Amino acid sequence: MLQERIRQAGKGLPLWIGDFREEARLAEHAELVLVLETPNGEERSFLWPVPFWKSEDERRLILAYLAAAVFNTLSCFGGASLTLYVPASSPELLSVAEELRALFQIDSQKRSGYGKVVQISDRLCRASGKGRFQFRVRVGAPVRTVSEKTPSEAALSSRLRRLTGKAARGLYCGIDVGGTDIKAAVSLDGRLLCTKEYDWNPASFSTMEELTESVVLLARLLRLAPCLSDRAEFASALRKDADLAGMRAFVTQAERGLTEALPCFDGIGLSFPDVVVKDRILGGETPKTKGIRENRTLDYEAELQKLSRLGETLAPLCRAGVRVRITNDGNAAAFTSAVEMACQDQALDGGVFAHSLGTDLGTGWLPPDGSFRPYVLEMYDFFLDLGSFHQRIFAPEDVRSSLSENSGLPDARKYLGQAAAFRYAYEKKPSLLEGFLSYSGDKITLSTAPVDQRKPCLEHLMQQAEQGDAEACEIFRQIGRNLGQISREIAFLLQPEVERRYLFGRFVKSPRCFRLLQEGCGEIMPSLTLCPADASLASSPLMRQLAQQSGVTVAQFGQAVGAIYLGAYQEDMDHETK
């Protein structure tokens, strides 16, 4: 089994971790038990079959397999501690398991690669007063194994419907932060006043103020909507191509002119692509903060504190006592879907599961009790492919590479989202990328200067698929297959009780591309139903208004509108406090 898989990987073929795990169960194997304690005190247990090996290259494959098991578990949940239980009859396996301590840089202060998930867990542990993450290897079996089941609460639909009534009175703002743009929306007394899209490249920022100022400035701009919506200057600031300096000048002047007449928000909801617990952004290892992490003149942990306090920075724009609500982009997608389903009187007994698919992959789960679990949910970091060795020889920023710029590992970011689309385009038909690439020596990258070509390139690939180009169609079908592969790992680790997945983001904007995603995913996970977050989902009052506007789509702006309802959700949504 192992030699054949190594040969396939050497030919550039993928070796999906789900396939490898299932084959291992059928071969002669030892059983390793992984027991995780999450930062909020839950305990979860997973059984990993490990096939016996005979050579050094087979041993290296087993090490990569177990590293992926640890990496994916921590990427899903985070951890206060993780313990590997190795059978006493497998001293060779014990040796491999102990190598993981060095691979994950457990004893280091600053980590990269595999160690980034440990860095996140350390931050979560500190935030919950638990000290540092602990990694252990033990011989024997665990005393007990636990797999938490989520309690059901039939009243979730009515609770979510009440939010639409609450948002019908007052001024609310919803902001959806992405990797290439920010989308925002504002409502007054149940009327959607306007939307705003702002393109950015936060990975190029060198200080956290550059990142946070953009978000705060958009909230300040939309706060002016009730007073200035009929002004030409306000309309100009809402334009997609309005630059930051121009918006800043307009907002500053307008705020001075209004002074005492400045309105205050009754709620702000923020969807942010990072680890978020109790409205605080705690992860700090996403592509958006890449430039800040690499700025050696700064104390990055101190910079990250500025990001974690973003809710407090936005609070002065609200009336007294309002709590700015923040969750990650995946949970925002699940929450938005749940609100719309509740307004359709659909059952939410199994909770709601959703993805945002654009720059990267966001993953969110709203369980039946309506709480946001304090999990990492960085599924775009999942290690899915143990093979495809040829694609790993290129630098992470090269379009041909399967290595992520964020971790340096072949993680899901190069298998799902726009980076995957660019990689498969070059692999299947390089001419599809003509005019969008930069060449430096033997390195080929997507141009980001003087004009960021990422969004235009993805739009071009989607248009080609719409027009029936066979290779372009296969790009989106393959990304659908990869979505099926990551869904297998989500089912193994998180065990959601729903087989329906709502998809938000630019990939959903094209009906043809979405159908190709469905086709590919269905080949791998036929039990899953992929549902587009398009006009058919629009059922709440604000979302119906969005669906009727020209020039915008529910797929693109749905999470910004959903964040308005999130801002109205002032009750506690966090699982730890229940």
Q: Is the pLDDT reported for residue 482 higher than 80? A: yes
In terms of DSSP bridges, do strands 325-328 and 437-440 run parallel, antiparallel, or are they unpaired?
A: unpaired
pLDDT in tens, 250-306: 999 999 998 778 999 999 999 999 999 999 999 999 989 999 999 999 999 999 999
- Count CB atoms within 10 A of the CB of residue 519: 15
Domain encompassing residue 222 = 156-323+559-564
Per the domain annotation, does 342 fall within a domain? Answer: no
Residue with the bigger pLDDT between 397 and 145: it is 397
- How far is 556 from 537, CA to CA, in rounded Å? 13
49 shares its domain with 109? yes
pLDDT band with cut points at 50, 70 and 90 for residue 349:
confident
State both tokens at 244. 């930051």
Per the domain annotation, does 485 fall within a domain? Answer: yes
**Domain with 235 in it: what CATH number?**
3.30.420
400 shares its domain with 294? no
111 shares its domain with 180? no
pLDDT in tens, 180-190: 899 999 999 99
Q: Is the pLDDT reported for residue 448 higher than 90? A: no
Percent of residues, the chain, with pLDDT higher than 70: 97
- Count CB atoms within 10 A of the CB of residue 467: 10
Per the domain annotation, does 347 fall within a domain? Answer: no
Per the domain annotation, does 151 fall within a domain? Answer: no
Q: Does the N-terminal peptide bond of residue 450 adopt cis geometry, omega within 30 degrees of 0? A: yes
Q: In terms of DSSP H, where are the helices of 259-326?
A: 290-293, 300-308, 310-314
pLDDT in tens, 402-433: 999 888 999 999 999 999 999 999 999 999 99
pLDDT in tens, 201-248: 999 999 999 999 999 999 999 999 999 988 999 999 999 999 999 999
Q: Is the pLDDT reported for residue 145 higher than 80? A: no
For residue 12, the SS3 value is coil
pLDDT band with cut points at 50, 70 and 90 for residue 151:
very low
**Domain with 388 in it: what CATH number?**
3.30.420.40
pLDDT band with cut points at 50, 70 and 90 for residue 10:
very high
Average of per-residue pLDDT values in the chain: 92
Query: Tokens 């997608």 sit at which residue?
Result: 333
Q: Tell me what pLDDT residue 326 has.
A: 96
pLDDT in tens, 65-94: 999 999 999 999 999 999 999 999 999 999
89 shares its domain with 180? no
367 shares its domain with 486? yes
Q: Give me the count of residues in the chain.
A: 578
State both tokens at 560. 């910004």
Q: Tell me what pLDDT residue 247 has.
A: 96
- How far is 494 from 254, CA to CA, in rounded Å? 48
Burial class (CB in 10 A: 0-12, 13-18, 19+), 56: exposed
Q: Is the pLDDT reported for residue 152 higher than 50? A: no
Which of 145, 150, 149, 151 shows the shortest CA–CA distance to 36? 145
| Cβ(307)–Cβ(177) below 8 Å | no
318 shares its domain with 395? no
Q: Is the pLDDT reported for residue 154 higher than 70? A: no
| Cβ(42)–Cβ(148) below 8 Å | yes
pLDDT band with cut points at 50, 70 and 90 for residue 449:
confident
Residue ending a domain, among 139, 174, 198, is 139
Domain count, the chain: 3
Q: Tell me what pLDDT residue 571 has.
A: 67
- How far is 498 from 100, CA to CA, in rounded Å? 33
163 shares its domain with 123? no
18 shares its domain with 60? yes
Report, as an integer, the average pLDDT of 556-566: 95
- How far is 83 from 56, CA to CA, in rounded Å? 25
Q: Is the pLDDT reported for residue 351 higher than 90? A: no
Per the domain annotation, does 86 fall within a domain? Answer: yes
Residue ending a domain, among 139, 164, 183, is 139
In terms of DSSP bridges, do strands 352-357 and 500-504 run parallel, antiparallel, or are they unpaired?
A: parallel
Residue 105 CB partners (closer than 8 Å, separation 6+): 111, 112, 113, 114, 115, 118
Q: Tell me what pLDDT residue 531 has.
A: 93
417 shares its domain with 319? no
| Cβ(70)–Cβ(34) below 8 Å | yes
pLDDT in tens, 509-550: 899 999 999 999 999 999 999 999 888 999 999 999 999 998
pLDDT band with cut points at 50, 70 and 90 for residue 555:
confident
Q: How many CA atoms lie within 13 A of 430 on its CB side?
A: 6
Q: In terms of DSSP H, where are the helices of 231-289?
A: 232-238, 244-258
* Lateral strand order in the sheet of 352-357: 361-366, 352-357, 500-504, 529-532
φ, ψ (nearest 5 deg) of residue 47:
-100, 125
Q: Tell me what pLDDT residue 150 has.
A: 46
Q: Tell me what pLDDT residue 574 has.
A: 60
115 shares its domain with 213? no
pLDDT band with cut points at 50, 70 and 90 for residue 573:
low
Per the domain annotation, does 130 fall within a domain? Answer: yes
Q: Is the pLDDT reported for residue 385 higher than 60? A: yes
33 shares its domain with 66? yes
Residue with the bigger pLDDT between 301 and 128: it is 301
Per the domain annotation, does 443 fall within a domain? Answer: yes
Per the domain annotation, does 185 fall within a domain? Answer: yes
132 shares its domain with 160? no
